[in-house]
């Protein structure tokens, strides 16, 4: 009973350390800009997994440092080794923006105006954008087109969509005569971005595979030693051993952080959101 209590306390301490680190680096545990639900459930699952992993590590080794390292590892593993579905969703969403832009371009010739052209795309909009486009069309019943477009761009939250929104807003205010060719160029630009993302994803597959192998081998080796040959790890029971373990953990942590940073595609600063803030102030 005492061991379980100590393990629970160690796991809670590891979770507290995780939250402190997240606060220091300015990261939110749950993104307030994204919808709740599945994302919150994933965050809760990661927190629970971190607590469980930290508690098990403390019970197996008796090292508070091991509990913290395992908790941090469990928290960051999905970001380091996973995220494939999110990256694929980003590619599909970018392609959807390109397709919707082409739909508007093709509808302009047959529609009586820009609002009618946008409304005509709602039933056939690509699935990743259909909900946002439907909301945009509903807003047009009681809002000016430029204001509705700004809110649409904020809802989609994608730089390529910001460019399309800017072009449509200018056309609504100034009645641009060459809107079709501009939308064609914006659609091609969005498709180029999607192709770039695919090339980046393919190029980084080898790195992610090597990372998975390294992490798996390290975890398997440590688990095997802790279960089958605990005496081999007795050197880490001392204060000096804990310092060495901290250094080793810092090295692996730094490497994992660098790999995570390498996998991030830096997006340009969005400007439609700033236009909406100025308009609302």
Same domain flag for 153 and 59: no
What pLDDT, on a 0 to 100 scale, did the predictor assign at position 171? Answer: 86
Residue 271's nearest CA partner among 262, 259, 279, 263 is 279
CA torsion, ordered 118, 124, 130, 133, to nearest 10 deg: 10
Same domain, 30 and 95: no
Sequence-distant (≥ 6) Cβ neighbours of residue 75 within 8 angstroms: 18, 46, 47, 49, 50
Task: Tell me, yes or no, whether 107 and 241 share the same domain.
Answer: no
Tens digits of residue pLDDT in 82-130: 667 777 888 899 999 999 999 998 888 776 688 888 998 999 999 999 9
Cβ contacts of residue 12 below 8 Å, gap of 6+?
51
Q: Does 201 fall in a domain? A: no
Return the structure tokens found at 194. Answer: 């999607």
Separation of alpha carbons 157 and 165, rounded Å = 11
What is the average pLDDT score of the chain? 76
Residue range 16-45: average pLDDT?
A: 53
Rounded to a whole number of angstroms, the distance between the first and last alpha carbons of the chain is 59
Q: Are 206 and 225 within 8 A, CB to CB?
A: no
Q: Are residues 33 and 68 in the same domain?
A: yes
Domain match, 114 and 188 both: yes
Query: Does residue 163 sit within a domain?
Result: yes
Range of the domain at 45: 2-86+206-253
Most confident among 40-44, 62-66, 95-99, 116-120 (mean pLDDT): 95-99
What pLDDT digit, counting tens, does each position of 142-191 carry?
A: 899 989 998 998 889 888 889 899 889 888 887 666 788 888 999 999 99
Q: What is the pLDDT of residue 30?
A: 47
Same domain, 276 and 171: yes
């Amino acid at each position: 009973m005492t061991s379980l209590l100590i393990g629970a306390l160690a796991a809670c301490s590891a979770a507290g350390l995780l939250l402190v680190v997240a606060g220091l680096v300015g990261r939110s545990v749950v993104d307030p800009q994204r919808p709740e639900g599945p994302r919150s459930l994933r965050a809760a699952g990661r927190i629970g997994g971190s607590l469980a992993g930290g508690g098990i590590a403390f019970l197996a080794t008796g090292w508070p440092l091991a509990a913290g390292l395992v908790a941090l590892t469990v928290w960051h593993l999905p970001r380091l080794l996973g995220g494939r579905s999110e990256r694929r969703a980003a590619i599909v969403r970018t392609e959807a923006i390109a397709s919707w832009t082409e739909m508007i371009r093709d509808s302009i010739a047959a529609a009586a105006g820009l609002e009618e052209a946008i409304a005509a795309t709602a039933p056939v909009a690509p699935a990743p954008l259909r909900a946002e486009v439907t909301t945009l069309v509903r807003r047009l019943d009681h809002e000016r087109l430029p204001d509705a477009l700004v809110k649409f761009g904020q809802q989609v939250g994608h730089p390529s969509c910001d460019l399309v929104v800017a072009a449509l807003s200018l056309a609504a205010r100034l009645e641009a005569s060459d809107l079709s060719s501009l939308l064609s160029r914006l659609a091609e630009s969005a498709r180029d971005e999607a192709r770039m993302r695919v090339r980046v994803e393919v190029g980084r597959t080898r790195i992610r595979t090597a990372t998975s192998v390294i992490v798996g081998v390290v975890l398997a080796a440590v688990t095997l030693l802790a279960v089958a040959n605990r005496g081999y790890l007795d050197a880490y029971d001392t204060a000096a051993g804990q310092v060495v373990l901290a250094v080793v953990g810092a090295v692996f942590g730094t490497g994992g952080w660098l790999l995570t940073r390498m996998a991030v595609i830096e997006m340009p600063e969005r400007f439609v959101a700033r236009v909406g803030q100025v308009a609302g102030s």
